[in-house]
């Protein structure tokens, strides 16, 4: 647990795999305690304190409720699943969350009009670039694709809020797979993360928000080009781990709201839609 940064990543990206599911190492603690009880070993029971304390040191703060009020802007991000059978219903559920800005990833071309139609009354401004889109209650300008892959999976736009402009990025990094031949296959995702990190480095607006499905957790070292430049709304203002995927039984938070130049005041997951991801939301103080 405490030495995960030293797990080598060159062979099969094992380090990234460990860091993706690092919170689940805590499952070993009750199993070890059960073993100590079965053996009726006081020494073993005391020894279980070491991994228990280590896990609490790493993640105890994550379990605390750090949410507060006072935000100026509510944002929502959702990988809607390109095979979503009810896009309009999903869009209405997101609109009901009361967000000022809604980012959607994995948009299927034929479903875009349904999302746009369902969000039109609450979010009149929008831009769709490739398979990602941004809907807003405030005017959008300077919308353009961000080059992270051979096809458009990321965009950048300026949202002109009553408290000034904010740069919004919407991104969907490539999927990862675990295979027998290559281990944790993250090469395409990692390359896209580096390109996205370069775009964030070049951003001139002081207030920046990244919404999207990064197909990786904030702890994954391979996403450092992005995570080293932004802060996690969930880590600073959430309650618990906020796992988002898969929706039926979430085991990892791969859908992120990351910020720079603004302060997260609250972060939470929304109820499941017809997607295989849970939507994520955050209240931000500008």
Question: Whole-angstrom Cα distance, residue 241 to residue 220?
Answer: 15
Task: Evaluate whether 201 touches 210 at the Cβ level (below 8 Å).
Answer: no
Percent residues over pLDDT 70 in the chain = 100
Task: Give the pLDDT band (50/70/90) at residue 119.
Answer: very high
The 10s digit of each residue's pLDDT in 240-274 is: 999 999 999 999 999 999 999 999 999 999 999 99
Number of H helices, E strands in the chain: 9, 14
Question: Whole-angstrom Cα distance, residue 54 to residue 36?
Answer: 18
User: Would you list the domain boundaries of the chain?
Assistant: 4-63, 73-285
Task: Give the pLDDT band (50/70/90) at residue 12.
Answer: confident
Q: Given 1.10.8.60, 3.40.50.2300, 3.40.190.10, 3.60.10.10, which CATH number is that of 73-285?
A: 3.60.10.10
Which tokens hold the place of 168?
């919004």
Question: Whole-angstrom Cα distance, residue 151 to residue 273?
Answer: 26
Which tokens hold the place of 49?
């304190």
Q: In the prediction, which pLDDT does 147 show?
A: 98
Q: Is the pTM of this model over 0.85?
A: yes
The 10s digit of each residue's pLDDT in 171-183 is: 999 999 888 777 8
User: In the predicted model, is pLDDT for residue 138 greater than 90?
Assistant: yes
Q: Whole-number mean pLDDT of the chain?
A: 95
Give residues with Cβ within 8 angstroms of 224, minimum separation 6: 197
């Amino acid at each position: 647990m405490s030495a995960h940064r030293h797990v080598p990543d060159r062979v099969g990206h094992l380090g990234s795999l460990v860091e993706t599911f690092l919170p689940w190492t805590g499952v070993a603690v009750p199993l070890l305690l059960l073993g100590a009880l079965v053996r009726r070993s006081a020494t073993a029971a005391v020894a279980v304190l070491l991994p228990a304390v280590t896990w609490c040191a790493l993640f105890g703060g994550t379990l605390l409720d750090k949410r507060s009020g006072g935000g100026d802007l509510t944002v929502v991000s959702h990988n809607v699943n390109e095979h979503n059978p009810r896009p309009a219903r999903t869009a209405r559920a997101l609109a009901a969350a009361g967000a000022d800005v809604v980012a959607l990833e994995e948009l299927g071309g034929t479903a875009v009009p349904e999302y746009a139609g369902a969000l039109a009354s609450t979010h009149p401004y929008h831009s769709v670039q490739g398979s990602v889109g941004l809907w807003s209650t405030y005017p959008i300008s300077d919308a353009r694709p961000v080059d992270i892959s051979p096809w458009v999976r990321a965009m950048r736009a300026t949202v002109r809020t009553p408290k000034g402009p904010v740069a919004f990025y919407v991104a969907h990094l490539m999927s990862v797979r675990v295979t027998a031949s290559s281990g944790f296959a993250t090469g395409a995702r990692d390359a896209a993360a580096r390109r996205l990190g370069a775009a964030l480095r070049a951003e001139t607006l002081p207030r920046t928000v990244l919404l999207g499905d990064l197909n990786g957790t904030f702890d994954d070292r391979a996403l450092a080009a992005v995570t080293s430049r932004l802060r996690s709304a969930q880590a600073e203002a959430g309650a618990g781990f906020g796992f988002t995927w898969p929706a039926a039984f979430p085991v990892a938070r791969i859908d992120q709201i990351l910020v720079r130049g603004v302060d997260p005041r609250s972060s939470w997951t929304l109820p499941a839609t017809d997607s295989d991801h849970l939507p994520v939301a955050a209240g931000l103080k500008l």
